Structure 1
Amino acid sequence: MTETDLCNMALSHIGEGLITSLDDDNETARICNQYYHHARRLVLSQYMWGFARRVEPLANIQVETYTGGYRHTYLYPEHALRIYRIIQDTEIRNGLYTSYSVKDIPNYEVFNLDSSTKAIGTNMTRAYVDYVVDVNDPDIFPPIFIEALTRFLAASLAQSLVGNMEMYRSQFQIYQGALLEAKNIVSSERQFDLELPVGYIESRRAT
């Protein structure tokens, strides 16, 4: 699977001719090249795709600029597209953290320290970050992500290449359906511990 293959899938969704390369010297290839990476990053950031998630420690830095009054400042992950959670390291070490067990998002903010440096301000020490990384290798894209990406790209191409708003709406609706299907797939692959009411537990102990 290549980037050209994905663009050709999007083109076929809207009935347009295929390209041999994103470097082709024609309007279709140029527009595909213009939209592909933006579409990929946007679709990645729209959902908690398992293949694109990373959980890792943040790098603590010392700064002289004001960062909202937070006690600690960390470097923003270089290839992050979206942060889901900032996590205290004790949750990681004790095995307490899952993406669905955290009820409250800890307080943090993202700052631009200068024109090229992003940072995260938080009161947590030894913080970890759960985030989506900018994955650009089509060979590791799962089928449902490919469906979502090519449908979103098809919607963009329908608007810019064809100028057909009805086709745009149709493809965008299919894209939204792919996101919903992704959520259903992830939900079916997770096992939640059943939390029984205290009264139920006590009554069972009494019998």
Structure 2
Amino acid sequence: MLYISWQLSLVMLAFIVVVFVTSFVFRKIVRKVFTKERQYISDLNTFLNENLSGMKLIQIFNRQKKKDDEFLQKNENLRKSRYAVVLAFGIYRPFITLLYISSIAVTFWLGMEFGLDAGMIVAFYLYLSRFFNPIQNLADQLNNLQKATTASERLFNLLDVKPEIRDRKDAVTVDKFEGKIEFKNV
């Protein structure tokens, strides 16, 4: 690209920098939003599991209204967080497309202003397409990628939890176990 027109290359580099900065900022925002959404999903699932299994106690103590209000609040939290996710992706993908279309328009306009012939302008267009098409594909898949990233973070956090019951420092390690247990003086 520099060989064809260094001026046009610098302009295209500005678009590329904007794409990278936008993607970096978007990734940070979406990670927080997805983490929050996953937490709200987990809270709602836990709430439902506990309350459906303890339905008789809730009815005995006449706590249906309180539990209904709690459910509505948890559901509203989840709805708001889901809305934030949809809004973020609804802004990011069209913004990347806008940058792509703008870069094409600027390429054609500046190409004519700098007196480049049609072949050079088409070459710049093809360079832009090779750059933006993978980014647009990634933007399409980013939703699934962020879900997987958030889920794996939660899984690793769970795996990092230290057990409450630990072996003593002087505990004996059993090298060979025969499958026979005997209780004496119990």
TM-score w.r.t. structure 2 length?
Answer: 0.30
Larger Rg computed on CA atoms: 2
Q: Which protein has greater RCO, CA pairs closer than 8 Å, 6+ apart? A: 2
Which structure is higher in strand share? 1
